[in-house]
Structure 1
Amino acid sequence: MESGFLLTWIGALLIIAGVLYGAAQALWRGQLSDAKPGGRTGAKASLEPRQSPKAFSFKTHWPAFALVLIGSILILTETAF
């Protein structure tokens, strides 16, 4: 009975770690804008990126997806038995 709870907790921690890792990779990928600290104003001084980012591609975030998948498998196998 205790090993089941341990697997559930490990699975939950792996899922949380995967989500946090994926979010951190998306946030720290690069600058959000190319505005310079010199006080440039106008339409180009926006924090919006010019192109749509490929923030959650499998190629760049496979470790995060793997952590979530392994955590989900651990939780589902525990609840199945």
Structure 2
Amino acid sequence: MTLIWLGVLLVFGGVLQMAFQPIWRGRLSGRRRLRAGQPGDTLEPERPAGGFGFKSNWPGLVLLALGAAFLLVGATI
């Protein structure tokens, strides 16, 4: 029973880590500050998103894998 709860916590932590990684790095918009009244300023990022990268999301993926392993072991016991 304890392994199942540990697995659930690790999976939840991995999902949260991957979801909040862009927020913690501050990459939700362009680097420029927007000033009211200037033409051409939008809330769109300067370059398109890079997609899912293993380099920035590896801690969350490790937490997910460990949590899944604990869930499988806990379910078989």
User: For this structure pair, what is the TM-score category when the shorter chain's length is used for normalisation?
Assistant: 0.7 to 0.9
Q: Could you state the TM-score of these two structures normalised by the residue count of structure 1?
A: 0.75
Where do 5+ consecutive residues of structure 1 fail to align? Answer: none
Q: Which of 6, 9, 22 does residue 13 from structure 1 map onto? A: 9
Provide, for residues 12-61 of structure 1, a one-character-per-residue CA deviation record: whole Å limited to 9, x for no partner: 0001111111111122323413453431443x322222322225211111
State the match for 1:48 in structure 2: 44
| 1:66–1:73 Cα change, 3 Å | same
- 5 Å-filtered alignment, 1:1-80, equals 5-31=1-27, 32-42=29-39, 44-80=40-76
Aligned-residue CA RMSD (Å): 2.0
The percentage of aligned residue pairs carrying the same residue is: 32
The residue identity in structure 1 corresponding to 2:75 is T
For normalisation by structure 2, the TM-score amounts to 0.78
In the alignment, structure 2 segments of 5+ residues that lack a partner are: none
Measured in 2, the distance between the counterparts of 1:40 and 1:66 equals 46
Provide the aligned length of Structure 1 versus Structure 2.
76
